Structure 1
Amino acid sequence: MDDLGRALRTWRDRLEPASVGIPHKGPRRAPGLRREELAVLAGISIEYVVRLEQGRAAKPSAQVCTALSRALQLSDAEYAHLMRLAGHPADPHRVPRLIPGSVHRLLERLESHPLAVYDATWQLLHWNPLFAATFGDPTAIGEDHRNLLLMQFEGMPSPVRFGREERAAFEESVVADLRATTSRYPGDPDVAALIARLRRVPRFRELWAGASVAEHQSGHKVVEHPEIGAIDLDSDVLTTQGSNLRVVVYTPRPGTDARSKLDFLAAMGTQNLAPGRG
Structure 2
Amino acid sequence: MAATEFGSAVRRWRERVTPEAAGLPVGGHRRAPGLRREELAQLAGISVDYVTRLEQGRASHPSAQVVEALARALRLSPDERGHLFQLAGLAPPGPDTVPAYITPSVQRLLDRLTGTPVAVYDASWTLLVANPPYAALMGDPSGWRGNERNGVWNHFVGRAGRIRRTREYLAGFESALVADLRAAADRYPSDQQVRRLVADLRAHSDRFAELWDAGAVGRHEASRKIVDHPRVGPLTLDCDVLTVTGSDLRIMVYTAEPGSEDADRLALLTVLGTQALTG
TM-score (norm 2): 0.81
Question: Are the counterparts in 2 of residues 180 and 214 from structure 1 also a CA contact under 8 Å?
Answer: no
Task: Tell me which residue corresponds to 2:116.
Answer: 113
Task: Tell me which residue corresponds to 1:133.
Answer: 136
Q: What is the letter of the counterpart of residue 91 of structure 1?
A: G
Bigger RCO (CA 8 Å, 6+ sep): 1
Determine whether 1:260 maps to 2:277: no
Q: What is the letter of the counterpart of residue 149 of structure 1?
A: V
Cα displacement string for residues 139-167 of structure 1 (whole angstroms, at most 9, x for unaligned residues): 24323311001100104231110212422
**Aligned with 1:57: secondary structure?**
coil
Question: Are the counterparts in 2 of residues 12 and 33 from structure 1 also a CA contact under 8 Å?
Answer: no
Cα RMSD, aligned residues only = 3.1
Of residues 57, 76, 79 in structure 2, which corresponds to 1:55?
57
| Alignment CA distance shift 1:43-1:264 (3 Å) | farther
CA distance in 2 between counterparts of 1:269 and 1:202 reads 37
How far off is 1:108 after superposition?
A: 1.1
CA distance in 1 between counterparts of 2:163 and 2:183 reads 25
CA distance in 2 between counterparts of 1:17 and 1:142 reads 25
Count residues in correspondence. Answer: 261
Task: Tell me which residue corresponds to 1:42.
Answer: 40
**Aligned with 1:52: secondary structure?**
helix
Determine whether 1:11 maps to 2:13: yes
For structure 1, list consecutive stretches of 5 or more residues without a partner in the other structure: 274-278
Task: Tell me which residue corresponds to 1:276.
Answer: none
For structure 2, list consecutive stretches of 5 or more residues without a partner in the other structure: none
How far off is 1:215 after superposition?
A: 3.6
Residue pairs, 1:198-209, within 5 angstroms: 198-200=201-203, 201-209=205-213
How far off is 1:236 after superposition?
A: 1.0
| Alignment CA distance shift 1:197-1:41 (3 Å) | closer
Cα displacement string for residues 90-133 of structure 1 (whole angstroms, at most 9, x for unaligned residues): 21111111111111101111222100011111001100000000
Residue pairs, 1:58-97, within 5 angstroms: 59=62, 61=66, 62-67=68-73, 69-70=74-75, 74-83=76-85, 85-86=87-88, 87=90, 89-97=92-100
CA distance in 1 between counterparts of 2:111 and 2:12 reads 26
CA distance in 1 between counterparts of 2:17 and 2:209 reads 53
